[in-house]
Homo-oligomer: A and B are copies of this chain.
Amino acid sequence: PANKKLLVLPGDGIGPEVVREVRRVIDWMDRRRSVTFDIEEGLVGGAAIDALGHPCPDRTMQQAERADAILFGSVGGPKWDSLPFEGRPELGILRLRKELGLFANLRPAIVWSPLAQASSLKAELVDGLDLMIVRESTGGIYFGEPRGIETLPDGTRRGFDTESYTEEEITRVARLAFELASKRSGRLTSVEKANVMQSGRFWREIVTRVGAEFPGVELSHMYADNCAMQLASRPKQFDVILASNLFGDLLSDLAAAVTGSLGMLPSATLGAPDSSGRRHALYEPIHGSAPDIAGKGIANPCAQILSFAMLLRWSFDMEEDAVLIEGAVEKVLTGGLRTADIMVPGAARVGTSIMGEAVVREL
């Protein structure tokens, strides 16, 4: 069979540095597991703006269309902060999500036991935490029309956006969340502000209806403000959380912060399978481009490496290799190596490439 086509989009900031460590893992797979990928590299974000004048050039979109999976670094940085809205680096990731139909953003928040101390929360409240946020990622207020900044006839200026969800948009992401929940603990928490927003009421109605297809999953509904509270105080009560694009953005970052190890957290964004079962998918760390530490060789490459493990699992059905890589990362942590972001007294502080090498050595 043809080799798997992998598109690598390092992007900006620490993106290229941490993606480089994944390359080592890929080399190891090539040598030891005789798995060879067809790898293309592409431009996105500020890097693409600088080279080609657009945060997500058509060339990148064409590469993405043909790829079996995309490994994404991160985009953005102060250099591009003053660009107009239509040209900002974030459009790199937003265009990919939207045009490839990547509607389900899966964001695990996991606390690796050796890192429970790294959390701002008391260790016993997070030790063993393993929850998954399913965030809708092609709809809602991120893309809803109309939107803009306008001057009304009476001279008043205003800025506005539209939160909008169709039945179909909610149904497909809810189904995916229920499927996931049924393979995990069987508990799903759907989040909205049904007490305030019409789209929230509608969200609750449709999710409840989809729930009828999954009698084995226990569905509960929670207001977004309460969910933020609960994540910060008793995060282990959750298994799978389903939320809109905007609430999912906040809550998944919050859940990541609660783990205390943002530099360890991967994510997957999945499209709908076509008739041959092929689906677009993009994998990226939760952490952003971290311009403050870019170029210093101190970024934690684990989230990017674990994003690659998710890629193997979800896009290439290579569960065994995914587990191997995750196990190697865990062993490195248990062995006491730490990048600056997860440093604790008594551990050995290392940089990006030593961490990457250590993971390959464990493999």
Most chain B beta-carbon contacts within 10 A, residue among A88, A120, A163, A249: A120
A122 contact set on B, CB distance < 8 A: 120-122
A274 CB to nearest B CB, Å? 22
A36 contact set on B, CB distance < 8 A: none
A166 contact set on B, CB distance < 8 A: 156-158
Q: How long is the Cα–Cα vector from A134 to B226 in the complex, in angstroms?
A: 18
Which one of A196-204, A211-219, A311-319 is at the interface?
A196-204
Copies in the complex: 2
Known: A159-B198, A203-B159. A233 touches B246 (CB 8 A): no
Whether a CB of chain B sits under 8 angstroms from the CB of A355 is no
| Complex partner residue of A85 from B201, B233, B257, CB under 8 angstroms | B201
Interface contact B197-A226, CB-CB below 8 Å: no
Interface string of A221-255 (1 = CB under 8 A from B): 00011101111111000000000001101111110
Whether a CB of chain B sits under 8 angstroms from the CB of A258 is yes
Most chain B beta-carbon contacts within 10 A, residue among A142, A159, A163, A260: A159
Known: A120-B122, A125-B120. A161 touches B197 (CB 8 A): yes
Whether a CB of chain B sits under 8 angstroms from the CB of A149 is yes
Q: How long is the Cα–Cα vector from A147 to B260 in the complex, in angstroms?
A: 38
Interface contact B195-A88, CB-CB below 8 Å: yes
Whether a CB of chain B sits under 8 angstroms from the CB of A346 is no
Q: How long is the Cα–Cα vector from A269 to B224 in the complex, in angstroms?
A: 21
A148 CB to nearest B CB, Å? 5
Whether a CB of chain B sits under 8 angstroms from the CB of A167 is yes
Known: A141-B163, A200-B159. A253 touches B233 (CB 8 A): no
A254 CB to nearest B CB, Å? 4
| Complex partner residue of A159 from B121, B201, B231, CB under 8 angstroms | B201
Whether a CB of chain B sits under 8 angstroms from the CB of A185 is no
Task: Please tell me the size bucket of the interface on A.
Answer: 35 or more
Q: How long is the Cα–Cα vector from A225 to B94 in the complex, in angstroms?
A: 16
A193 contact set on B, CB distance < 8 A: 246, 249
Q: Which residue of B lies closest to A94 (CB)?
A: B196
Whether a CB of chain B sits under 8 angstroms from the CB of A320 is no
A199 contact set on B, CB distance < 8 A: 159-161
Q: How long is the Cα–Cα vector from A88 to B246 in the complex, in angstroms?
A: 24
Q: How long is the Cα–Cα vector from A80 to B317 in the complex, in angstroms?
A: 48
Q: Top 10 nearest A-B pairs by Cβ distance?
A: A159-B202, A229-B257, A159-B199, A160-B164, A225-B253, A228-B254, A232-B257, A158-B166, A120-B233, A161-B163
Listed by A's residue number, 17 A-B pairs whose Cβ atoms lie within 8 Å are A120-B122, A149-B202, A156-B168, A157-B167, A158-B164, A159-B203, A160-B163, A163-B163, A224-B250, A228-B254, A229-B253, A229-B254, A229-B257, A229-B262, A232-B232, A232-B257, A232-B258
**Which A residues fall within an 8 A CB radius of B?**
76, 85, 88, 90, 94, 120-122, 125, 141-142, 144, 147-149, 156-168, 193, 195-203, 224-226, 228-234, 246-247, 249-254, 256-258, 260, 262
